[in-house]
Structure 1
């Protein structure tokens, strides 16, 4: 009787296969943005937008009009985050089967930092919401602001591993950048 791999093994194989297929599709996109310097520009842009989410959330505590700030921030965040993911090869969320040992170690260290960032910022958002709930009169704005803080904290933690890896990964060899000489 042959043993079938369990569901987790099959899922990891599927994730790896899908990751490698997507990597093959996007490997040639944005070749000039794959340098460390340009990736760092994208990391700073993502960090600024994550900070903007926090500012909008805090501002929404005092004025409901601040909540509209989520729209332009999100409209800017989505393409910049997507570009960062493309040029960094999505190593922050890559499955183990798609990475070599060094990449896996770097990814795991960045994920560990991302988890710490997530826990710290979400805890701060929770404590701020709890503390302010006893002293703030308009609970509807407090609920919205607290939700915004928590969402911004989660987004920051989720983005942290990719941001760290994009920042620290050295420039690829020119031979490793498809179509670099053609761009």
Structure 2
């Protein structure tokens, strides 16, 4: 199990040694960040938090390798979504050039005692529990204490233009 591994080394030091490559720990592949391929004409995604600890406040960071995200009418190449401050389903639109292949980089974060956004320290990491062409389920450990992949869990569903214009809540499995 990951707990035994952590008696001698943190994820942070192991990621530094591996130059950020995924780690195999306790039968799980642990990522510092995970790149979700976004092929044009992917038009949008839905992110839904399925469970999270209240303390510290948990979040998800998103960054496009090319193009921008549009969330709640705001355009940005990067965003941080806090579990305690967003609706049950967050709609994300992808704004990119039509001939562009890009990736959506996903990683977890948490709010520190001074409201600072903390990432990639001590035992922070994420596991992809399920992935197919359009649905990803993530389980995350924040950097506080021993690894615990129940600190934050969330689903990310990608919709392509070919799939049509379903209600975004159905993308997150809530419709």
TM-score, normalisation: structure 2:
0.28
Pick the structure with greater CA Rg: 1
Higher RCO structure, 1 or 2 (CA under 8 Å, sep 6+): 1
> Going by fraction, where is helix more abundant, 1 or 2?
1
